[in-house]
Amino acid sequence: MKRREFLKNAALGTAAAGTATAIKAPSVFAKRSYRWRMVTAWPPHFPVLGEGADLLAKWVDQMSGGRLKIHVYGGGELVPPLGIFDAVRHGSAEMGHGAAYYWAGKSPATQFFAAVPFGMNAQQMNAWIYYGNGQKLWDEVYAPFGLQSMPAGNTGVQMGGWFNKEINSAADYKGLKMRIPGLGGKVIAKAGATAILAPGGEIYTDLERGVIDATEWVGPYHDYLMGFYKVAKFYYYPGWHEPGTVLEMFVNKKKFAALPKDLQEIVKTAAARSNVWMLSKFEAVNNSYLKLLISKYHVKLRKFPDSLLKQLKIYSKEVLLDITSKDKMSKKVYDDYSKFQKNAMQWAKVSEIALYNAENL
Ligand code: CA
């Protein structure tokens, strides 16, 4: 009897405890607030790029009614700018804001989620990531690091870069030390240049001191803020190496999974909003700053000759072949990327390209 009673009481107790948990849990979770750290690859409160990270944190705070507060750290404040991937991976920060090609050393396939030379523009990248297989593949590439990433900004078509001399052919790249990240760096290396990956905060000084001879950065507005016109006079276009660079927000997967579902959606929504915000900002202001650079600071605007672009395109194909033949994941990602790009380009010929041509008649 005693044993039976005990079992009955125990069962009731468990049931009662279970009920109590079931009733209490939602209100406990609903009230629980979280404090996260976001480490970024940008100097503190860096215009546009860092601003995008700051805004993302602000929007999450507003949408969540203060339940998720994100403290944004500039590069170097908590960890060095290019140390953010490892910091989030190992959990010393919950999220990061950077660009996927900075992590080529971790996995070459990361680069396809930032920029591919002669690759897709912002609109096409969004289409691939949000509606094609882009996000799925991105998740797959970051999974071994315990990370998950998503678009949180886009620069649009970048400029080709700042040079101290005219660049007329591939031969002019010989011996040139240029700051240029990702696959674009490998392309100019084929032409005999040395590609250097320096974080944003170091480029101006490197260029001024001659540590590098040339640099690319983003586009007229941001390049103006960086002051490159003071140390280099030739400003080349187009940014063949970065046709629509995706900025990313990545999270520690375990920490993200521990958030209630509504906060997860809020984070994703804020990232998507900053993706649109950043691209819009650049698009809105770039041309005024280009005009300012030319008229006030006497910057010499130059277009890369078609013959050079053709050569760089050949080198790009070689670089992509090198990477995809050595790294399985890169092949998997690039196969899908290039298939998507081909399709998008066919559509562009009867949409954007035809429209731009018509508008310029
Ligand atoms: Ca760039």
Q: Which residue did the predictor score with more confidence, 239 or 181?
A: 239
Q: Is 141 a member of any domain?
A: yes
Q: Which helix (H) or strand (E) holds 149?
A: strand 147-154
CA 183 – ligand 1 centroid, Å: 11
Distances (CA, A) of 216 to 88, 224, 303: 27, 12, 14
CA 267 – ligand 1 centroid, Å: 26
Q: Are residues 321 and 338 in the same domain?
A: yes
3-state secondary structure of 235: strand
Residue 264 has pLDDT above 90, yes or no: yes
Q: Are residues 173 and 132 in the same domain?
A: no
Q: What is the pLDDT of residue 327?
A: 98
Please, which residues bridge with residue 70 across strands?
A: 36
Q: What is the pLDDT of residue 20?
A: 45
CA 34 – ligand 1 centroid, Å: 34
CA 180 – ligand 1 centroid, Å: 7
Q: Is 275 a member of any domain?
A: yes
Cβ-Cβ contacts under 8 Å for 66 (sequence gap 6 or more): 33
Q: What is the pLDDT of residue 18?
A: 44
- 26 confidence band (pLDDT: 50, 70, 90): low
**How far apart are alpha carbons 288 and 203 in whole angstroms?**
23
Q: Is 64 a member of any domain?
A: yes
CA 348 – ligand 1 centroid, Å: 24
Q: Are residues 225 and 354 in the same domain?
A: yes
Nearest to 159 by CA among 264, 71, 287, 260: 287
Q: What is the dihedral of CA 52, 345, 236, 207, to 10 degrees?
A: 50
pLDDT tens for 209-229 read: 999 999 999 999 999 999 999
Return the CATH number at 139: 3.40.190.170
Residue 333 has pLDDT above 50, yes or no: yes
Q: Is 278 a member of any domain?
A: yes
Sheet holding 194-196, edge to edge: 194-196, 177-179, 214-215, 161-163, 234-237, 300-303
Which residue shows structure tokens 């009867």? 350
- Residue 126 buriedness (CB in 10 A; 0-12 / 13-18 / 19+): buried
Cβ-Cβ contacts under 8 Å for 13 (sequence gap 6 or more): none
Nearest to 97 by CA among 145, 41, 47: 41
CA 27 and chain centroid, separation: 36
Sign of the C-alpha dihedral, residues 141, 144, 145, 149? positive
Q: Are residues 166 and 226 in the same domain?
A: yes
Name the phi and psi angles at 355, rounded to 5.
-70, -50
Nearest to 204 by CA among 170, 162, 243: 162
CA 61 – ligand 1 centroid, Å: 30
Q: What is the pLDDT of residue 4?
A: 56
Q: Are residues 317 and 188 in the same domain?
A: yes
CA 179 – ligand 1 centroid, Å: 9
CA 218 – ligand 1 centroid, Å: 5
CA 104 – ligand 1 centroid, Å: 15
Q: Which domain holds residue 64?
A: 33-154+244-283
Q: Is 310 a member of any domain?
A: yes
pLDDT tens for 97-125 read: 999 999 999 999 999 999 999 999 999 99
**How far apart are alpha carbons 61 and 45 in whole angstroms?**
17
pLDDT tens for 184-210 read: 999 999 999 999 988 888 999 999 999
Element counts in the chain: helices (H) and strands (E): 13, 11
The answer to whether 29 touches 264, Cβ cutoff 8 Å, is no
pLDDT tens for 129-172 read: 999 999 999 999 999 999 999 999 999 999 999 999 999 999 99
pTM above 0.75, yes or no: yes
Cβ-Cβ contacts under 8 Å for 256 (sequence gap 6 or more): 94, 148, 264, 267
Q: Are residues 224 and 354 in the same domain?
A: yes
pLDDT tens for 74-103 read: 999 999 999 999 999 999 999 999 999 999
Q: Are residues 145 and 213 in the same domain?
A: no
Distances (CA, A) of 168 to 173, 233, 307: 9, 15, 9
- 5 confidence band (pLDDT: 50, 70, 90): low
- 25 confidence band (pLDDT: 50, 70, 90): low
Q: What angle do CA 66, 71, 74 make, to 5 degrees?
A: 155
CA 158 – ligand 1 centroid, Å: 6
Residue 6 has pLDDT above 70, yes or no: no
CA 219 – ligand 1 centroid, Å: 8
Q: How many domains does the chain have?
A: 2
% of the chain surpassing 90 pLDDT: 89
% of the chain surpassing 70 pLDDT: 91
CA 59 – ligand 1 centroid, Å: 26
- 3 confidence band (pLDDT: 50, 70, 90): low
Q: Are residues 112 and 228 in the same domain?
A: no
Please, which residues bridge with residue 357 across strands?
A: none
Q: Is 2 a member of any domain?
A: no
CA 40 – ligand 1 centroid, Å: 16
- 13 confidence band (pLDDT: 50, 70, 90): very low
CA 134 – ligand 1 centroid, Å: 21
Q: What is the pLDDT of residue 182?
A: 86
